A and B are shown apart, each in its own frame.
Chain A
């Protein structure tokens, strides 16, 4: 069970990272200058994503090997 969850966690993290990077790229590329909203939303997204990523890693490590 642990190995399956670990494989899912790694694959999920990679896909999540790629999608996030793509969204950041679009926001950086197409946002007009002088607009603070995208930066604030990006920071909130990074914070919440990191928080739940840590939660999921913690619970993953609690699954017995």
Chain B
């Protein structure tokens, strides 16, 4: 998937902070509690139906419902996990997954990085230590990385290798 150039090494790989996925899991955990609520009131709604059909049919559809939750949770986890930012010795690669069969990859050569700004806003971001990195390039293009854990370390790595790339000013060539 990732082809490195000659003498290029991966320095840091950034995935989104675990809090992003925790929110999703909390939502799905709440959805799991819907079936017990339905089961509580179902006998009142199905009094006139044969219990020999209602009981297995209810359990059957509940099993399918749980499987639907699994597949959506798995899909959302895949989307979360495959979003990544790869910092190498010569570029920053932004790989973003948008659902199935939709992947966006963009790159910034480190020698074009001019400004790196970090933002930590809000109670949760402050205590869980994640936030946003904004990277300004020479072409006035802004590159934003959201939900970044270990912000200060990530910023230091980007600045360090950006300075080194600018010192050497090596042309970026592909294989």
Docked-complex contact A38 and B81, CB < 8 angstroms: yes
Per the CB 8 Å criterion, the residue count for chain B at the interface is 30
Mostly, the A contact residues are helix
- A16 to B103: give the CA distance in the assembly, Å: 22
A29 to B101, CA, bound (A): 11
How many angstroms from the CA of A29 to the CA of B74 in the assembled complex? 16
Q: How far is the CB of B82 from chain A (nearest CB, A)?
A: 5
**Which residues of B46-93 are within 8 A (CB) of A?**
50, 52-53, 55-57, 59-60, 63-64, 66-67, 70-71, 74-75, 77-78, 81-82, 84, 86
Judge whether B67 and A26 touch: CB under 8 Å.
Answer: no
Pick 24 A–B contacts, CB within 8 A, sort by A.
A8-B64, A9-B60, A16-B67, A22-B100, A22-B101, A23-B74, A23-B75, A26-B78, A26-B97, A27-B82, A29-B1, A30-B82, A30-B97, A31-B81, A45-B74, A49-B71, A53-B63, A56-B60, A59-B56, A59-B57, A59-B60, A63-B53, A64-B52, A64-B53
